[in-house]
Amino acid sequence: MAKQLLSRALVSPSWLSAALKESHVGASLRILDASFYFPAIRDARKEYEEQHIPGASYFDIDKCKDKTSPYEVMLPSESDFAKYVGNLGINNETHVVVYDADHLGMYYAPRAWWMFKVFGHQKVSVLDGGFRNWLKQGLPVTAEVPEVKPEKFHAVLNSFLVKRYEDIQRNMDSKEFQLVDSRSEGRYQGTEPEPGEGVDPGHIPGSLNLPFTSFLTEEGYEKSPEEIRQLFQDKGIDLSKPLTITCRRGVTACQLVMASYILGKEDTGLYDGSWFEWFHRAKPEHKISEWKK
């Protein structure tokens, strides 16, 4: 089945369907539904309980996080991540396939993919096209929640890939890395509101804007490597140089991290606190926005 792997980060619905038929789901292959919605316009867990890919467990991004942080979905500790995914039947040899049910095709799944990557797990993929296209192809679903045997998972954080507030602050002058914001142009410029309350739109000085939706086809699949490369080039982003991605809370930024990874760039950083943290901590002059309350 390895030949059906679409890229270094993606598997196709047909690949996963074949794995299910061959009964590969277990400690060697775990499927995770990482659907989550903010604002809560849909109940992701309820939808999971109603229908999901056979053998899939629910990965709750809002629980697998640093619960002590005042910011939104910050990374958990090594031990907390290890415990959480271990309880999902995942060990360090498990191939993890993540998907979500967003109408765009892939929204939260790349965040879960990145979390595994940043904690040292290489055998992780995103289902290209997500649950939307799984359903469209008429592939099997179930309401049965699998019983999994807990496994031992050892997590080692690659801190180089995680940028903190101080790193972004220093970079405004040092220009150590290119900073790219994956939100929509309106939220980046400050002409359309941020979802939820307590945060105005705008962007970090010196950051470029490349919306994560640019990397998805209308059908919800990842664009080709050639198209991905062109998107970066058109924005003047040099993939041979250090790169960090930001967004509102470190979720859609993972789409760009994954896109650069598909092109062979494994050192793209992510500002975990992203605009939510920056908005609450940065000086007024370090928040660029056209927003008028």
What average pLDDT does range 146-163 have in this prediction?
97
pLDDT (0 to 100) of residue 41: 81
pLDDT of residue 72: 86
177-220 tens-digit pLDDT: 999 999 999 999 999 999 888 899 999 999 999 999 999 999 99
Averaged pLDDT score across all residues of the chain: 94
Portion of the chain with pLDDT greater than 70, in percent: 97
Domain map (residue ranges) of the chain? 2-136, 159-286
Averaged pLDDT for residues 142-152? 96
Instruction: Identify the pLDDT of residue 2.
Output: 37
Average pLDDT over residues 91-103: 96
Model confidence at 8, pLDDT cuts 50, 70, 90, reads: confident
d(CA 273, CA 275): 7
**pLDDT class for 27, splitting at 50, 70, 90?**
confident
pLDDT per residue as tens digits for the range 236-285: 999 999 999 999 999 999 999 999 999 999 999 999 999 999 999 999 99
Do 2-136 and 159-286 share a fold? Answer: yes
pLDDT value of residue 5: 45
- Is 247 considered catalytic here? yes
User: How much is the pTM?
Assistant: 0.95
pLDDT, residue 14, reads 95
* Interval 45-63: pLDDT, tens: 999 999 999 999 999 999 9
The CATH fold assigned to 2-136 is Oxidized Rhodanese; domain 1 (3.40.250)
Fold type of domain 159-286: Oxidized Rhodanese; domain 1 (3.40.250)
Q: Which of 61, 75, 247, 259 is catalytic?
A: 247
